[in-house]
Amino acid sequence: MTDELRHHWTLHLLDEDSARHEAQLAKHPDQRKAHETRLAAARKTLAANAAQSAEAQKQRRVLEQEIAAFDTAQARFQQQLERVTDQKQFEAVQHEIAAVRAKRSDVETAALELLDREEGLAAANPTLAHALEKAENDAAVVFLTLDTEAAKLNAELAALAAKRADAVALLDAPARSLYERLRGLRGGRAVAAFERGACGACFRTQPPVALQEARRRQRLLACDGCGRLLMLAPEDGAAE
Ligand SMILES: [Zn+2]
């Protein structure tokens, strides 16, 4: 195998490694987002429960004030009842008392319904708080794992970039510029390996004569399909 081919192969392996690391890093935002969404939903549900509970309590306080006002009115009518002098006045005040009682009863029913509602919301609260706590714990574990993985991937990418700088310097200027141009145009992969008679990147089957040529390992070929530089791995399997 010529040095030129060997240098291309070295670069190819480094770039494939970098591409794999980049692809792994690119998945992180989605993996974070799934947990952030779950966290936001759990916080929202818990907050909604608290808000509904506070609202029901507020409404119940208003109704309790109304009940107190009805009690005051009823006491006043009872006093009037003791002072009435004829049957007609007596019946009129009795009528007022009955009306106040009826209204008080309605309001009291509504207040009890609100109390029921508050109790239901309070009963649901621990489950919701627990769900949020679990979401927070799960997210913390995942975020820590992702942070650790990202730090490792970035360190490996930096190491690969340093090796790459050395490897790219071994190509002559025209070869380097062709390699970098192809790499830019072809999703970070300038070189493809021959795999079962086809391009390992775009999978286009190559003419048999190309495979024979590749086996000689004397010059770089171009894929018919994607235009990438096409070659067989070194026979010794080594990168350099
Ligand atoms: Zn191809």
Q: Would you say 197 and 211 are in contact if contact means Cβ atoms under 8 Å apart?
A: yes
CA separation for the pair 19, 134 (Å, rounded): 35
- Distance between Cα 207 and ligand 1 center (Å): 12
pTM to 2 decimal places: 0.72
- Distance between Cα 227 and ligand 1 center (Å): 6
The closest alpha carbon to 238, from 4, 2, 13, 68, belongs to: 13
- Distance between Cα 206 and ligand 1 center (Å): 9
Tokens of 140: 């913390």
Under CATH, which architecture does the 16-169 domain have? Orthogonal Bundle (1.10)
- Distance between Cα 6 and ligand 1 center (Å): 19
Cβ of 86: how many Cβ atoms within 10 Å? 8
Domain ranges of the chain: 16-169, 172-231
CA separation for the pair 204, 192 (Å, rounded): 11
Task: Note the pLDDT of residue 212.
Answer: 93
Task: Note the pLDDT of residue 239.
Answer: 41
CA separation for the pair 18, 24 (Å, rounded): 10
- Distance between Cα 203 and ligand 1 center (Å): 6
Q: Give Cα 46 distance to the centre of its chain.
A: 19
CA separation for the pair 220, 226 (Å, rounded): 14
Give the environment of ion ligand 1: residues with CB less than 5 A: 199, 201-202, 223, 225-226
CA separation for the pair 230, 201 (Å, rounded): 9
Task: Note the pLDDT of residue 235.
Answer: 82
Model confidence over 91-124: pLDDT tens digits?
999 999 999 999 999 999 999 999 999 999 999 9
What is the separation, in whole angstroms, between the first and last Cα of the chain? 11
The closest alpha carbon to 227, from 198, 192, 195, belongs to: 192
Task: Note the pLDDT of residue 1.
Answer: 84
Task: Note the pLDDT of residue 237.
Answer: 57
Residues of the chain under the 70 pLDDT cut: 237-240
